[in-house]
Every structure is written in structure tokens, then in C-alpha cells.
């Protein structure tokens, strides 16, 4: 049974968001929520409860500690018989390689902005395209789960900003250029995909878009004059 909603939520403020220099000392997966992040996650859980009411929910969770902690705050607002979950490593953050000094990370980020957020691969890490591929593979799990007669009425995916944008890119068949114009969500901001009468999902949340691309290499697809692809 397809859920009524698919809700994508970014983790709360993490230690790395508050102090980027910690990325050179602590593995990315082990960064925890700050006090602010815990409050954000708790508030998000209360708002999600208002949205879904007494309906059942299933959480898919990135295994990173900040997403686990965010999910822990969210489920406090749901009764145990209405809420279940599963961790899925495919929902993890884009891999940036090993711990590096902030100066080196800043340089790599600048290179990525000049080259392409989607195509640039961090040394020993991933490109946006790599994350897109594993998100695409995660869709196979989603579609199998949605075929179950007793699947909950809401699917909540607790993950990371880049992963959310690539999920939306894959789901709605965005172009690379469209993806690169959409900004990351704020901490604990979420996007709601709502099922329509035809069984398809509509994004009812607004994205925050850039006014101009980060890099200069732009080439729209122009195969046919009417462009009805």
C-alpha cells in the first residue's frame, strides 16, 4: 500500500554544523547533535505529529549518529504501536573522504563549486552522482515496501541535505542543472511528497533556489523544438 505521504527530513544542527573544524578531528558519521539540534529535532517531531495525526509511520534512517539522534527525538511524539523504523546505509551523507584540516576542506569545496556539485568527486570520497546512484538503489527498497498491504500510512526518511536533494532529483527526474540550483534544506527542515488521486506524488513543500548557478558550465537540453520530453 503506497503511503499517503513521503516526508524527507534533514537532521538537526550537528557539532560539525556548529564548528566545522571538528571535521578534522571526528569522523563524519560520529558527529552528534548540539543542544540546539536536539531542540530542533524535538520540535520537528511535534510538527510531524500534527501533520500525520494518529496515522502510522515508518522511518528510514541514515546510520550516522546525528540522524539517529534526530529520529530518537521524532519518535518521542508517536506511540510505539504506530511507529517502526529501519536504518539504511544508502541514506548516509555524501562521503568527503578522511578527516582533513578545515583549510583543505574549504579548498576542496571551492574546487567543487567551480567544477560541479553533481560531478565533482572528493578524494577518497564521493561525487553527487555517486550519491544519486545509491539513492536510486534505495528506491528499489521503497517500491518493494510500498507493495506490502500493511505498509504504514506515512514514510519518513531521516537523512542529510545533499541526500534529500538527490532523492528529489531522482524522484522527479530533475536535470543536473535543476539539482544544482536547489539549495540544501535547513537543519530539521522537511519536504512532503503527498499522494494524489492518480497515485503519483506531488511535492507540496517549496524548495529554496539559487538566483544564479555556482559554476559557468550550463547547457540546457534542446532535442526538439517543442521540448515535450
Active-site residue set: 11, 93
113-144 per-residue burial string, b: 16 or more CB within 10 A, e: under 16: eeebbbebbbeeebbbebbbebbeebeeebee
In the chain, where do the E strands start and end?
A: 5-10, 57-61, 83-87, 154-159, 190-195, 201-203
Q: In which element (H, E) is residue 167 found?
A: helix 161-172
Under 8 Å between Cβ of 9 and 35 = no
Amino acid at each position: 500500500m503506497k503511503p499517503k505521504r513521503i516526508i524527507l527530513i534533514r537532521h538537526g544542527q550537528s557539532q560539525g554544523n556548529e564548528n566545522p573544524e571538528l571535521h578534522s578531528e571526528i569522523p563524519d558519521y560520529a558527529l552528534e547533535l548540539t543542544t540546539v539540534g536536539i531542540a530542533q529535532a524535538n520540535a520537528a517531531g511535534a510538527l510531524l505529529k500534527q501533520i500525520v495525526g494518529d496515522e502510522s509511520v515508518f522511518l528510514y534512517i541514515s546510520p550516522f549518529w546525528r540522524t539517529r539522534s534526530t529520529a530518537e527525538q521524532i519518535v518521542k511524539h508517536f506511540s510505539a504501536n504506530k511507529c517502526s523504523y529501519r536504518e539504511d546505509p544508502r541514506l548516509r551523507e555524501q562521503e568527503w573522504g578522511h578527516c582533513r584540516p578545515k583549510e583543505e576542506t574549504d579548498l576542496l569545496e571551492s574546487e567543487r563549486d567551480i567544477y560541479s556539485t553533481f560531478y565533482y568527486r572528493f578524494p577518497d570520497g564521493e561525487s553527487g552522482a555517486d550519491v544519486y546512484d545509491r539513492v536510486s538503489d534505495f528506491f528499489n527498497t521503497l517500491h518493494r515496501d510500498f507493495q506490502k498491504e500493511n505498509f504504514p500510512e506515512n514514510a519518513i526518511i531521516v537523512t542529510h541535505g545533499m541526500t534529500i536533494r538527490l532523492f528529489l532529483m531522482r524522484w522527479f527526474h530533475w536535470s543536473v542543472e535543476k539539482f544544482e540550483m536547489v539549495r540544501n534544506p535547513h537543519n530539521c527542515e522537511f519536504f512532503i511528497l503527498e499522494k494524489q488521486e492518480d497515485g503519483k506524488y506531488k511535492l507540496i513543500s517549496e524548495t529554496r533556489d539559487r538566483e544564479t548557478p555556482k559554476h559557468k558550465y550550463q547547457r540546457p537540453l534542446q532535442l526538439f523544438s517543442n521540448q515535450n520530453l
